[in-house]
Amino acid sequence: MNGYLEIIRPGNAVMGVIAVILMAIIGEDYNIPIILGAIAVFLAMGGGNVINDYFDHKIDVINKPNRPIPSGRISLQNAKIYAYFLFLLSIVIGFIISYLVNSLIPAIIVIISSILMYYYAYKLKKIAIIGNISISILTGLCFIFGGFIIGLETFNNNIIITSLYLGFFAFIMTMAREVTKDMEDIEGDKTEKARTFPILYGLKKSSYLAGFLMILASVLSPILYFNGIFNFYYILILSLAIITFFYGAYTILKDQSIESAKKASKLVKIGMMIAFISFAVGSF
């Protein structure tokens, strides 16, 4: 894969795009503003991934030596310029969206998200819990961004409220995955003197936190059916996500090895994808 495509981690960036598309499905709106919103999210998240690799190039020599920067396929200077370009392009698109929906809120969300992604990569990532919270907020903002675009365009406050609910659940699920990822990367993070939760408080306590978050997401998510946001099909598909989250919690609580953390992280990611599908199907 081309280094400049690989470094934006298209698979991860698409997760944010999926959140916007889900809001389009739920709001039954496929007009230009929401399409531009999906593009802005992809570019901003791509820029975030690039700047993250820029600041993490020493850690990646240990943890991910095949990535574009540590493998020498992209220079540090070019990576930084590339990240700035992606951020700037996403902000420009954010202002175009704001013009179309007659509100500065979409542009403000893109600007805040871009700044937070940069500062996360630069400093917050190395601070226990704060870094995890930052990236989880960014995931939740993808739903909220899509909800505000549609809500402002169609004058529908209900879709904005729904996006806040979904953003909250995305926040919890992402927090669970972030903690397991920190457990997975603990050796490389130690060499950079990072102050992640697993380094400060140990793998056992980290597993408790990750497991609790997975279970919390499982227990609370049916609320979206009981308060009338989604239909019964949501519960049917969500049950698969709940099983996946519980298995992820069991995996990490039983064994705190790096391999177990990798497995739990993958399970959370699969559970999130299933949950996202349930959001879409449950809105029909």
Q: Report, as an integer, the average pLDDT of 83-91.
A: 98
| Whether pLDDT at 192 is above 80 | no
The Cα 37–Cα 94 span in angstroms is 7
The answer to whether 86 and 44 are in contact (CB under 8 A) is yes
Give the sign of the dihedral formed by CA 202, CA 203, CA 208, CA 213. positive
CA distance between the termini of the chain: 37
Closest CA to 265 of 12, 22, 4, 7: 12
128 pLDDT band, cuts 50/70/90, is confident
How do the domains of the chain map onto residue ranges? Answer: 3-282
- List all residues 6 or more positions away from 37 whose beta carbon is below 8 Å from its beta carbon: 20, 97, 106, 145, 146, 149
1 pLDDT band, cuts 50/70/90, is low
The Cα 278–Cα 49 span in angstroms is 27
| Whether pLDDT at 64 is above 90 | no
Mean pLDDT of the chain: 92
Q: Which pLDDT score, from 0 to 100, does residue 176 have?
A: 95
The amino acid present at 24, given as its one-letter code, is: A
Helix ranges, the chain (H):
3-6, 10-27, 32-55, 57-63, 76-101, 105-122, 130-154, 157-184, 186-191, 197-220, 223-226, 232-254, 258-282
The Cα 108–Cα 110 span in angstroms is 5
- Displacement of CA 107 from its chain's centroid (Å): 19
Q: Report, as an integer, the average pLDDT of 257-266.
A: 92
Residue-wise pLDDT for 9-27, tens only, equals 998 888 899 999 999 999 9
Q: Report, as an integer, the average pLDDT of 104-126.
A: 94
Joined tokens for residue 59: 């850690």
Reported pTM: 0.90
What count of Cα atoms within 13 Å lies in the side-chain half-sphere of residue 161? 8
Residue 264's CB is within 10 A of a number of other CB atoms, namely 32
CATH architecture for the domain at 3-282: Orthogonal Bundle (1.10)
